[in-house]
Structure 1
Amino acid sequence: MPISRRTVLRTAAAGTSAATAGALLWTAAPAAEAAEGSAGAAGDRRLDLLDFGDTDSEQAHGLAAADTSVAGGHAGDRARVAGPLDPPDIKGGELRFTMAVDPVRQNYLTVKFWGGDTSPYKTIAYINGEQIGYRRSGDYEALNIGTVRPLPGRFFYATVMLPLEHTHGRDKAEITLRTYDGAFSAKVTADSRGYYRAYTHTGARLALDDDPRPEFTPPTDTVADLAESEKQALIDGYVAGQVKLFDGHSAKVDASADGRLSIVRYEDELLFYSGALATAAWCPAKSAAEKKAALLRIFKCVDNHTKDYYGNTKLLARGGHQGDWGGYYGALGQALYIVENLIDDNDVYGRDAFAAFLDEEFTTGTREGETSLKDVDFDGGRLTRRAAWGRVLKANFDYARSRLSYIYNQVLYCYEGAWEAHEGLRVIGSKFYEGRARSHRIAGECLGFDPFLGEEVLVGPDGQDLDLFHSLFYHDTTARWTEDYIRYVIKGLATSKLDKDGNVVRRLPLGRHYTTMTERGHTRENGYVANYGEATNYLPQWFHRTWGHKGDEELNDRILELSLRNLHARSYARHTDLDNDLKRFMRMEMVIDERNANYPGFPGYVLRQSEGKIMLYVSLAHHIEEHPERYAGSAWADTRKYAREAVGFAQQQLADHQYFVQRPPAGRHALRDHPARLLQRLLRLPGEGVRGGGHPARVAGGRPDRRGGRVPHLLPDRCPADVDRGRHHLPARLRRQLEQLLRAADLPAQPGEVDRDAGPVLLAQGQDGHLHRSDRHGRRRLDRLAVADGGPDDLLAALLALRHHPRQPQVTPRARSPR
């Protein structure tokens, strides 16, 4: 069956695409696209086939294969494996052979692999003795980058484009497949993955109908679920861990006069502490006195970090991991912004008391030096706390706005440091604060909804131009700074260069209309990203951080809309799959990932599963539900829909029993609401059935794969939990909702039907006593309901796993009978 080059996120076992070098893409092209593609594909043809392990085929192609051997294969197809050299080297044995090529047209090489093989080694292809593409990441990468059981039970194919200069005017080319250590540093000490077949062909499609492949029906079983008591224990443990962490941070600050919380990126102790104090329902600081004590600890942290800065100004540029991105001390401004409403609360602290506190004399005990400051104000006068905090924040503001990149994740990580520092200047009433509109513009460019104009141009104290050349290729421990950065910028001595109209001069590397987020909600990197696309997982935290801040209401609305629009856009590049044990779950499409290619892709229910951040997006849906009037009307219709999708993605993860297997470490992100409360609401948020990102049905192993489709979710449930266990009776309201349930495993097998309404999926109790699904025509879709493996009580247990609204009866699932 031909596979279209145009269907980017597609192909594998029944065919292959050469849409990208080394692409291992999945999913069959819809029939219309295939027909359209084939019409323009006249002349696309297979030129040659080498069947490894077949003596006649190997001899006909002049195979030279020292240090390799024939291994038993699959589906009647044998393979060759490359063994270690003697003595071992960074490469193993190689397969060198001759293949027919077209002397005029573009040629491609495709190699067949077994999806159940595990090997960390890379396969690099060579033509006429020269390497094809890059050894590491790039748009023309290795033929096989190393895989762990990427497609159990099936074959997959990898394709690389052959350079024209090596085929033009020739009818044959020498191909070499060489096995390397994945990092090109360690020794190859084990056999490689199996090499089954090699093909040359013209055009970016290859018909493989005659290829041997196994019969494979993808199972829909899930991993074993945890008992409800275990789930509750995990939730309780998570909350207890957060409380313990908060109390531990309090003790850490109180332990000594110079106690402080870490502001190193990804440690973020001060961010966690301030966020928990300001927003978390579980925070142990409940009374006004306890909140004031916690506020004073935050002020103490800012004091001690400021003293560090005065003693070594270079800390601003390199104070910790990735401190050169956005400035190390932006975190101080961020913490002050987060707790601003508590500062203003007269029952806790009060703005007047804070003003008096800031005007106190501040001593650092430091002297002027190349990378140090004397404890005086800019004019040499008395130093106050307001002036000292203001200097470190101003310096961070200048540093962050002058040292930027042009791709989304780097703009976010760098420019947000300017916003954080600038908002800190506002909170302390600094003369260096430039106004709310300025802050909002920085946030808009940073997050992607306002055009990004590039670095802000700075001048020195005398108005002289500064040499602020930088390259973010030199980053973190290798970061470099010009002398002007050290002498002026990180000491807070630079100012903005203004044009004739008084506006800050910008570098304008991409003009005046380029946003780092597309209209559809994708981030602009160097290409499509999945792993680095996760930078937007910080957006919900931005939303909760800015919620309730007077003057930031419009900004907060923009962030909420952007967060959910981006989540929706990312959902289209996720697909249902099987893990190494053939259990159902979902993956991120990473074959064509420009930055971190991975086959078959990281586990992810829209978000990378190991991040453990799906509840941050559920909290956005929760917030919208709690403020229906604010988000009413047609302007918010898409956002409300995307919020329901976010709930659906989380419910799908719960239904697949994949949520509780990932346990986020306490402190990585403090949820605004109690996490248990968010979990409980997953099954009772209002709204209609959600169709998540459109995941087209794909073809695997030559058979239609019905698991790839929309990401549905378990519908909201508000019915009373009246269950007659003796008769296995389902309540009428629950039954009506379940009749609308659409699961990925139930989607139509034909790709052309994917985008049409599949209709309701009806539940019926079979003679075996289990619930089964059938479509609107009465055809049975599955042998047994995939959510449950023990009858209707188990279905209810899945639907009610995290319990109903407190006013509803609680259902305790019956113990399952041995199967």
Structure 2
Amino acid sequence: MTRYRLILGAGALLGFMASQAQAATPLIDKIVFGDAASETAHKVEAAASERVTGGLGVVARRLPPSEPGARFSGDLKFTLAVDPAIQNYASIRLWGGDVNDGKLTLFCDGRQVGYRHLGDVEILDIGTQAPPFAGRFTYRTFPLPITLTRGRKALDCAIRASGPYAVYTQQFERFQKPMTQASRPLYALYVHGDPFLDSGDPAGHAPPPAAGPSAGPEVLDELKDRVNREIERKLAQPGPLEVLEAQFVARAYGLAWTKAYKNPEVLRKLVQSGDAYYVRFLADPKSAYVDASRTNPDWEVLGPYGKALRLLGADLAPYLDAPAEGGQGTSRREAYARMLDFGLRYALTHRRLYTNQSMIVDLQGIYWSNEGLRALASPLARPEADMRRFLYESMGLSPWTGSLDKAGKPTFSSSAADTGSFRSANDYGLFTKAGLSRELGYVGSYGEILDWATGIYLATAAKPSQAGDPVLRDQLLKMARARMPFRYPGIDAEGARTMLLEAPIGWRDPVYPGATTYVQKSGWDNTPFQVAVATRDPQLMAVARQALDDGQYYAVLRDRLKDKNQRTTIGLLDAYDEWLAVKAWPKSDGKLPMTPGQPDFVFADPEDGVVAIKNGDEVLYASLYWRANCGVNRLARFHYQTPGIDRIATIAARVDFEPSGKTCVRRATPHISAGSIPIVAYPGEAPAALEGEVLPVAKSPPEARYKDQDNPYAGRGYYYEATYGPYFIAMNASADKAMTVALPKAGKGRMDLVSKREIAAGERSLTLAPGQTAVVYSPGR
């Protein structure tokens, strides 16, 4: 049996049940910020805050910077009642129309509740990049550490605001940015025993959608002008091009609308640049993988130039047998081959494990370097089939075998020199059988690797206009279709309807809401229609038409054009031709599965521990394997939207696992709960409230080693179970064990949304086969 299920089917009964109101959740405590009586009862010290009137005319408090240019606000202090004997949950009420990338952090009894960056329990609020839920309220729920509440009836707490965060730095001054505005208004803080909060407070309504974004086809003219200006600038500069610039003009050479099209100056510039790379290589061979002009030159080495040679090989041929300028009499053919081979050997011994990184190394560093050698007819070129196997590994078609050692044998490690601290399992695949990447569970933005996957497929085509490897195409389509359930309906900053990438349940997603995404997320190196046009798959082309009809294709390009980075210019090179292809494609009724009016469905991937559910007009995402980098944390993450309320919750869950006998102890740092991301220390910071918690480590394959790295086995279970509101989810992630599941007690009307089977009132259990998931919906709960 497969380890995932994708079930589609309409159900008027479910739509009716989804519309039924739930009873308000019993509360342990509730603070209404800005309300005099509630604040007096909770000993609120509000001097550091401002009282404001916010969404639906409701009073609230917001925290301005403590002084102009400060990184932090003052503290909003209060007491909070808790239950001394149970697991307490806290929820914050926020307005879904806010756009504010500042942060809010809760401190109780001198300790920080939640982690700043990618923690399994997050800080109070990570901010917003766009309106997450216009016209309505949104709630964020998390468990209060039981070590704080056990035996206690009240806690002394404070909320502090800060500016937004940077990433990829260990320096406090660079990571924690100053506040440029006051915080989001805080409306209420709740304490409750049931992890699901229905506050009973007014919810609001979605505003009528605007006709569409303000951007239109004129952005394509702006895009073409920008690309052509860049081409003119590069061809006119006296010196050589950098490596990515060389690939850029080589690709543009084949596009009829560009000023590089069949332009002999492109050939001259590529030869001039290749000669310069060789001179630099002679002086320092490490220049093949150390290059300040690029973000990750050690991943790409000189592969982008190898791609340029492959694309223009026939036209460049007259130049290749002449001596390289400054090359000590060596022919260009031999000179370019030497440096490409040097970079290729480096890439083969320095592969990367995470999916997008593996793809970049294997495509850019390995495959394109070798294709450059083949274009040069060099005896140093490896057989193409030997290099294509690395592409198969990166696409999840075969286990990842890691870097090669000096003898050319696989090491199952990222670095051939690493013989002790890291080794992947022999059968570790970079994708699940359902087609999602494995880092370590579901990832939103970081999992949008369809650009690199499409690049891998296209690289195997004999010519740019031809099809590539059909096996790679099939896998690419599986990946693309697996991502489709993770786009849900939203309203953009202009009030227009859009589809948003699911981010709140993503392991590596520090931004909410996710970006506008239909076929694929647009980034530095790709366009929104790339995979659809590359494959001409009818389903993906229909989704591309949906983006076009919603006007969001133009809005995405408009926003991409605001980024003046040269890499963005390079990434937009194919957007115009792809637009023409989608415009010419026949219209159909195909839509993204979460689009209103589409059939109800459940998508479940037990290997990533993730579920996506459309149930009438409700959307539910759940990550039952949630940010468990170093041990089993028994936490699950939910994102649940009804027409009136948006909820993001981290809750306690059941995780059954095979113990290893080892443990992982939570550190004192409140920056990140676990993993290999660098820790940023704050001046005078409070310790993490969860410091010292001991997490059991699940058993991993005997050959695997993950010392000081994220461990894909340490926090993984073979069975997951969680209840949130009217949804009970049971997931058998085992490959060979059936599971008998005790059903929660409920009245009539229960239904398994996966099988579409109504569950009788007296039915107490069900059996899940290996890889099977059940989603039991109980509308009266």
Give the TM-score category using the shorter length: 0.5 to 0.7
1:449 aligns with 2:397: yes
1:94 aligns with 2:94: no
Do the aligned partners of 1:588 and 1:606 also contact (CA within 8 Å) in 2?
Answer: no
Gaps of 5+ in 1: 1-28, 366-374, 376-381, 471-481, 486-504, 625-639, 708-750, 758-819
Amino acid at match of 1:218: P
Per-residue deviation at 1:97?
2.5
Do the aligned partners of 1:698 and 1:705 also contact (CA within 8 Å) in 2?
Answer: no
1:26 is aligned to: none
**Greater relative CO (CA pairs within 8 A, separation 6+):** 2
Per-residue deviation at 1:545?
3.9
1:420 aligns with 2:410: no
Per-residue deviation at 1:282?
3.4
Select the residue among 186, 192, 211 that pairs with 1:195.
186
Taking only aligned residues, the RMSD between alpha carbons, in angstroms, comes to: 4.4
Select the residue among 301, 304, 310 that pairs with 1:337.
310
SS at match of 2:114: coil
Do the aligned partners of 1:99 and 1:175 also contact (CA within 8 Å) in 2?
Answer: yes
Amino acid at match of 1:427: A
SS at match of 1:690: coil
Do the aligned partners of 1:79 and 1:196 also contact (CA within 8 Å) in 2?
Answer: yes
Per-residue deviation at 1:109?
0.8
1:271 aligns with 2:244: no
Per-residue deviation at 1:393?
1.4
After superposition, the C-alpha distances for 1:722-750 in whole angstroms (9 at most, x for unaligned) are xxxxxxxxxxxxxxxxxxxxxxxxxxxxx
Select the residue among 110, 113, 116 that pairs with 1:129.
110
Distance 1:701 1:531, change over 3 A: closer
2:273 is aligned to: 301
Per-residue deviation at 1:154?
1.6
Amino acid at match of 1:681: A
SS at match of 1:175: strand
2:48 is aligned to: 67
Distance 1:756 1:74, change over 3 A: farther
Select the residue among 571, 580, 603 that pairs with 1:677.
580
Q: Please show how residues 607-646 of structure 1 align to structure 2 within 5 Å.
A: 607-608=520-521, 613-621=527-535, 624=536, 640-646=537-543
Select the residue among 348, 352, 355 that pairs with 1:405.
352
1:527 is aligned to: 441
Per-residue deviation at 1:428?
2.2
Larger Rg over CA atoms: 1
Do the aligned partners of 2:459 and 2:468 also contact (CA within 8 Å) in 1?
Answer: no
Q: How many residues align?
A: 581
1:704 aligns with 2:643: yes
Amino acid at match of 1:335: A
Select the residue among 270, 282, 306 that pairs with 2:257.
282
SS at match of 2:351: coil
Partner Cα distance (2:641, 2:477) in 1 = 36
Do the aligned partners of 1:574 and 1:586 also contact (CA within 8 Å) in 2?
Answer: yes
SS at match of 1:704: coil
Q: Please show how residues 31-430 of structure 1 align to structure 2 within 5 Å.
A: 45-75=26-56, 77-85=58-66, 89-147=70-128, 149-183=131-165, 185=176, 188=179, 191-208=182-199, 210-214=200-204, 216-223=205-212, 231=217, 234-236=219-221, 238-239=223-224, 242-243=227-228, 245-246=230-231, 248-252=233-237, 255=238, 259-263=239-243, 268-277=244-253, 279-282=254-257, 294-295=266-267, 297-320=269-292, 321-340=294-313, 343=314, 357-358=320-321, 364=326, 383-416=330-363, 417-430=365-378
The farther-off stretch of 83-92 and 156-165 is: 83-92
Per-residue deviation at 1:131?
0.5
Per-residue deviation at 1:325?
3.1
Amino acid at match of 2:33: F
Per-residue deviation at 1:112?
0.9
1:579 is aligned to: 492
SS at match of 1:206: coil
Distance 1:448 1:694, change over 3 A: same
Partner Cα distance (1:189, 1:544) in 2 = 44
Partner Cα distance (1:546, 1:52) in 2 = 60
Distance 1:597 1:666, change over 3 A: closer
Do the aligned partners of 2:75 and 2:159 also contact (CA within 8 Å) in 1?
Answer: yes
Partner Cα distance (1:244, 1:91) in 2 = 43
Distance 1:584 1:677, change over 3 A: closer
Per-residue deviation at 1:667?
3.7
Do the aligned partners of 2:246 and 2:308 also contact (CA within 8 Å) in 1?
Answer: yes
Partner Cα distance (2:95, 2:323) in 1 = 71
Partner Cα distance (1:438, 1:80) in 2 = 62
Partner Cα distance (2:211, 2:302) in 1 = 46
Select the residue among 476, 500, 507 that pairs with 1:563.
476
After superposition, the C-alpha distances for 1:586-623 in whole angstroms (9 at most, x for unaligned) are 322222232232222222334335767123234225xx
Partner Cα distance (2:577, 2:752) in 1 = 41
SS at match of 1:608: coil
With normalisation by structure 1, the TM-score equals 0.62
Do the aligned partners of 2:450 and 2:520 also contact (CA within 8 Å) in 1?
Answer: no
Amino acid at match of 1:50: I
Do the aligned partners of 1:606 and 1:649 also contact (CA within 8 Å) in 2?
Answer: no
Select the residue among 591, 594, 604 that pairs with 1:694.
594
Distance 1:248 1:449, change over 3 A: farther
2:380 is aligned to: 432
SS at match of 1:280: coil
SS at match of 1:71: strand
Distance 1:271 1:78, change over 3 A: same
Do the aligned partners of 2:27 and 2:190 also contact (CA within 8 Å) in 1?
Answer: yes
Distance 1:224 1:99, change over 3 A: closer
Do the aligned partners of 2:527 and 2:575 also contact (CA within 8 Å) in 1?
Answer: no
Do the aligned partners of 1:274 and 1:338 also contact (CA within 8 Å) in 2?
Answer: yes
SS at match of 1:438: helix
Do the aligned partners of 2:34 and 2:51 also contact (CA within 8 Å) in 1?
Answer: yes
Do the aligned partners of 2:403 and 2:414 also contact (CA within 8 Å) in 1?
Answer: no
Partner Cα distance (2:372, 2:355) in 1 = 24
Per-residue deviation at 1:580?
2.8
Partner Cα distance (1:519, 1:274) in 2 = 37
Per-residue deviation at 1:200?
1.0
- The structure with more helix, counted as a fraction of residues: 1
Distance 1:443 1:191, change over 3 A: closer
1:668 aligns with 2:616: no
1:727 is aligned to: none
SS at match of 1:314: helix
With normalisation by structure 2, the TM-score equals 0.65
Per-residue deviation at 1:293?
6.5
Per-residue deviation at 1:110?
0.5
Do the aligned partners of 1:455 and 1:507 also contact (CA within 8 Å) in 2?
Answer: no
Distance 1:206 1:656, change over 3 A: same
Partner Cα distance (2:306, 2:235) in 1 = 20
Partner Cα distance (1:223, 1:102) in 2 = 49
Partner Cα distance (2:492, 2:283) in 1 = 53
1:718 is aligned to: none
